[in-house]
Chains A and B, each alone.
Chain A
Amino acid sequence: MTTTKNEYPDVSSLVDEKPPGEGVVAEADVTRDGYHPSLSDRLKTGWGRRIILAIAVGVLIAGPDLIGDPTRTRQWAEYLCYATVAVGLDLAWGYGGMLALGQGVFFGLGAYSMGMYLSLEQVEPGQLPQFMSLYGDNDKLPLLWRPFEHLWFAGVAAVVVPALVAGLVGWLVFHRRIRGAYFALLTQATALVFWLLLIGQLKLTAGTNGLTNFSEVFGHNKYDPSTPEFLYYLAAGALLVALVVARHTVNSRYGKLLVATRDGEDRVQFLGYDPAKAKTIAFALAAGMAGLAGALSAPIIGIVAPDQFAVLPSILMIGWVAVGGRATIYGPMIGALLVGVLKTRVSESHPENWQYFQGLLFIVVVGFFPGGLAGIWRKLSGAVSARLPARGGSADEPSRAPQTLATSEVAS
């Protein structure tokens, strides 16, 4: 009871102690005594990381040539959009501990922003989109639609509107200390409301049908064989931006604070930080990335319909992150890509029962590998380097890697 300062460690020790440039999971390894670098850890050194990044960017750029087929290229562009969502969601859920079950709302806001622009791109200036002349009763463009005649506005709105909405929701919710399961339910309800709203406002949103018939996208004919490549690079660019932003965020002081908030919100507050602010920022960032991905998904998928943004797709987004591995940034990206490819390919080879495969994948991963693919990778590479000429003890190796993940539960 005598000490006041010593009991509460200085914030800088909480935030700055760890070497910069290391992920959360790696930190657990570095601080351990008798540490034996595994393969995955070796790849995390400066050079290893640069090599991986160079390979990844190379593969991304060479993508369309490797894929070879315009249809498949377009599908990959779609998966890249999903990966962008997953990277953002990892910030909120993986690093921030916020189980956001309504990410489809932000994805949808972005998609509708761009969808409105694309719908107007198909018709002569001053004319109404096709669906409006069919179901609407006004012969003038609704006020809400007017600004979306401009591409720049649609693009900015696609990112800013979701971020603002998430910021507002987050601010209100986190200040009231709503978290864990309550936060998850609240976000899921948001997705349901959003879906009902889109369907109900037939005259504004084209209802269940959604906005479609984008044969002209950004001045390209959508069905020209070269267009998918163009869209692919747009999506790849967006993913790279999201990755850079996410990495930067995680490695910053703020990133450490976010993780600290996830693992001990009360303690962070005692230390004089505002956990609500930290969480709101991460939530808004995640929403912005989802919006960006949504905006690009509109021309890539070619249709913007409410069912894409309802409750189920939002849960699927959580699935991407879980499959890839939380709080790893690259894991969720790979998870989204993998689930996307599997969905397409399995549904083509087993059209009658592909959904069982997808369900099984989620059950197996979530039930038995809480660390996701990233966790498996860490374990495998740990096992490999244990077989290599060992320089230190590695007896307790399998148990150490996923520690940070396993202990930080959803409801923090």
Chain B
Amino acid sequence: MRNRPGLLRLLLVLMVMSLIAAACGSDSDDDSGGSSDSTKAGSTDSTDDGSGDSTDDSTASGDTIKVGVLHSLSGTMSISEVAVKDAELLAIDEINAAGGVLGKQLEPVVEDGASDWPTFAEKAEKLLTVDKVPVVFGGWTSASRKAMLPVFEGLNGLLYYPVQYEGLEASPNIFYTGATTNQQIIPALDYIKEQGMTDVYLVGSDYVFPRTANKIIKAYAEANGLNIAGEEYLPLGETNVSTVVSKVLDAEPDIVFNTLNGDTNVAFFKELAAKGNTPEKIQTISVSVAEEEIGGIGVDNIEGHLTAWDYYQTTDTPENADFVAAFKEAYGEDRKTDDPIEAGYVAVHLWAAAVEQAGSTDVDAVRARRPRV
């Protein structure tokens, strides 16, 4: 009797240990692989404050160029960000298939930001210092971008950020490839005004983008005679939305301006539909719900509601037809493209083109080339 649990425990100990060994083992491989050509780079770095020389060293030493891909693969934001990661990897594959950048293949280093801002900062630092990547494609929430900003500025890295944002920020180390408020929210408000809707209800996630967006919306409303019927915020990742939905239904606005992010949207639209609302009664317009999120929300729950974006999967250009076809071929027929996915895809190509023009992956050189891309 006593032997058997003992044996079981022994097995479990072995399991845990092998797990730990696996983790450490694969890591030390990473380290030795990275450090063999980066220890020297590190020492030169420390003498001149890491002013971007590191990137030159890493490109000079190997046949590949490592590039960082940093999105939330777990947590509340993964519903949106996983697809952006896929698009960026697709772009990297395309560039590699076409011969790479400066004759070298791109090697993506994928990291999980885990919908957690400190993790974004930590992984960004790791990508820049341990992997010594010349560029990182990543982020979705403004909070994650704000967490990464000091890292990219402090270490002189380069971040391509693929999502619409609230503005009021500009960094020499970040390329914002999404829309700003005047390219997304103001046109949406113009449309609302054109349609003759006057009562607007604001619902958003409780962080910087919705707060700032709503500040702008309120200023617009005041100048254009719109009435703000109410303003509600939910913590990011919250799925208990019934109170807010009840308040919205009680207020009976013409339209809900929805700046919710992540999987709160799923709960919000399901609850709206469950309480018997239809777009004919209370319309909504969303700025963080795109093709990718609709699968999670359910088509029935959101059909007829409005969104505002700079790009849709149905955008009618030959380039987009190619992109959509390539994306579906790589990841499956049921997959969709949307604005941030497209922005992430384009970002990789933009960077590659800038590097080709600059003849180097050096951050300062790439930045100087950017306007001519």
Contacts and interface: CB of A to CB of B under 8 A. Distances in A.
Given A348-B30, A364-B16, A209 B208 contact: yes
B219 interface: no
A69 interface: yes
B112 A213 contact: no
Contact of B208 (A75, A207, A364): A207
Given A215-B150, A225-B50, A307-B116, A351 B111 contact: yes
Contacts of A301: 118, 121-122
A333 B240 CA distance: 37
Contacts of B228: none
Contact of A303 (B9, B15, B50, B118): B118
B9 A223 contact: no
Interface in B62-119: 73-74, 110-112, 114, 116-119
Interface string B147-181: 10111011100000000000010000000000000
B29 to A, nearest CB: 9
Contact of A212 (B111, B116, B147, B235): B147
B4 to A, nearest CB: 13
Contact of B19 (A209, A215, A344, A360): A360
A72 B153 CA distance: 19
Q: Find the residue from A215, A338, A347, A368 having the highest chain B CB count within 10 A.
A: A347
B130 interface: yes
Interface stretch (B20-28, B328-336, B362-370): B20-28
Contacts of A321: none
Interface in A164-220: 195-196, 199-200, 202, 207-210, 212-215
Interface string A130-170: 00001100000000000000000000000000000000000
Contacts of A398: 6
A200 B129 CA distance: 35
B190 interface: no
A70 B9 CA distance: 38
B112 A69 contact: no
Contacts of A342: 20, 23
Q: Determine chain B's interface SS by DSSP, over half rule.
A: helix
Contacts of A71: 125-126, 129-130
Contacts of A307: 116-117
A207 B207 contact: yes
Contact of A351 (B110, B116, B125, B130): B110
A345 B130 contact: no
Contacts, number: 141
A33 interface: no
Q: Determine chain A's interface SS by DSSP, over half rule.
A: helix
A364 B15 contact: yes
A202 B206 contact: yes
B212 interface: yes
Contacts of B27: 345, 348-349
Nearest to A200: B206
A154 to B, nearest CB: 19
Contacts of B130: 69, 71-72
Interface string A325-364: 0000000000000100010111111011011010011001
B125 A305 contact: no
Interface of B: 6, 8-9, 12-13, 15-16, 19-20, 23-24, 26-27, 30, 35, 42, 45-46, 49-50, 73-74, 110-112, 114, 116-119, 121-122, 125-126, 129-130, 142-143, 146-147, 149-151, 153-155, 168, 205-208, 211-212, 235-236
Given A207-B206, A308-B118, A351-B110, 9 more contacts: A134-B212, A208-B235, A213-B150, A221-B154, A222-B154, A301-B118, A345-B24, A348-B30, A398-B6
Interface of A: 69-72, 74-75, 134-135, 195-196, 199-200, 202, 207-210, 212-215, 221-226, 301-303, 305, 307-308, 338, 342, 344-349, 351-352, 354-355, 357, 360-361, 364-365, 368-369, 376, 398
20 contacts: A69-B42, A70-B129, A207-B207, A207-B208, A208-B205, A209-B142, A210-B143, A212-B121, A212-B147, A213-B146, A225-B42, A301-B118, A302-B150, A302-B151, A303-B121, A347-B111, A348-B27, A357-B19, A364-B12, A365-B16
